[in-house]
Amino acid sequence: MSDTGYTPPEVWTWDKDKGGGRFAAINRPVAGATHEKTLPGGKHPLQLYSLATPNGVKVTVMLEELLALGHAGAEYDAWFINISEGNQFGSDFVAINPNSKIPALLDRSTDPPTRVFESASILVYLAEKFGAFLPKEPAARAECFSWLFWQMGSAPYLGGGFGHFYAYAPIKIEYAIDRFAMEVKRQMDLLDRRLAESAFIAGPDYTIADMAIWPWYGALAKGQLYEAGRFLSVHEYTHVLRWAEGIAARPAVQRGRMVNRAWGEPSSQLPERHDASDFNKVAAS
């Protein structure tokens, strides 16, 4: 193991040119808005401000699944938030999510409008609003919540930990990569054991727990996250792969992955969504 030669100072001070790698320009040690910025709004009650990262995909998949069930009230306007340009620090966005992270939802069907932030909170809010994808029986409901919040507590190891040091950090630190790779493989083994005994994460039915976990761990199982599939030997997790492929085949999931996406093949992109017909426009282009 190499010695980086770094000794922490007695008191840490922020150097804006260090500590973030490719994200150094948008990371900072304080909260709040950096500039005045009015957010756009559309015709539907639900206004989503997001980006097609794993956390953003959770919510667009949920909304598309609700629409697939026939919940017309789940029609929404989705607005692209470019986090690389600091859109998340605009005044209107911070008013919806003071933590300046995507996704953020504004429900204008209530008076006053209801703001909802943090991806799991948005999933629960929508599940309860429309009575879908969340079990009603207490034990099944508790199981769903347990796995939902497992994902919220575990993903920082996968994204902010393993993903950062393996894919984004300006230098490769063996200790950091080994530490987080070990934890990510433990998480994948946990999911594989669970899915060996259950069709879906929380039981026999597809729920918001699957919608939360799939964009992170499903993508990892399919070798699509951080180009780390071989490094982590993801082929070993056969039950996770079965589950991941099954969810990826769902039409609503395929639509949800397109929303707020501005990279990849043009046919896979829908940077902003304002009507169901937008999908037809993309397909025809």
Q: Where are the alpha helices (DSSP H) in 138-260?
A: 138-156, 174-197, 208-213, 219-221, 238-248, 251-258
**Sign of the dihedral defined by the CA atoms of residues 80, 81, 85, 87, in that order:** positive
| Total Cβ atoms within 10 A of residue 272 | 15
Domain boundaries 138-249, CATH class: mainly alpha
Least confident of 21-30, 166-175, 192-201, 252-261: 21-30
**Sign of the dihedral defined by the CA atoms of residues 9, 15, 20, 26, in that order:** positive
Contact 181, 231 (CB under 8 A): yes
In this prediction, residues 30-55 reach a mean pLDDT of 97
Backbone φ and ψ for 173, nearest 5 degrees, come out as: -110, 110
Please give the torsion angle defined by the CA atoms of residues 151, 156, 159 and 161, in that order, rounded to the nearest 10 degrees. Answer: -140
pTM of this structure: 0.95
pLDDT tens profile 209-236: 999 999 999 999 999 999 999 999 999 9
* 4 — pLDDT class (breaks 50, 70, 90): low
Residue type, 98: P
Task: Inform me whether the pLDDT recorded for 249 exceeds 80.
Answer: yes
Task: Inform me whether the pLDDT recorded for 136 exceeds 80.
Answer: yes
Q: Report which of residues 137 and 282 the model is more confident about.
A: 137
Q: Does domain 46-133+257-284 have CATH number 3.40.30.10?
A: yes
- pLDDT of the residue at 122: 99
Domain coordinates of the chain in residue numbers? 46-133+257-284, 138-249
Angle between helices 54-68 and 119-130 (to 10 degrees): 10
Beta-strand runs (E) in the chain: 46-50, 76-80, 104-107, 114-117
Helix (H) or strand (E) run with residue 280 in it: helix 277-284
The DSSP 8-state label assigned to residue 38 in this structure reads P
- pLDDT of the residue at 285: 66
Distances from the Cα of 222 to the Cα of 65, 110, 234, 238, angstroms? 22, 40, 7, 10
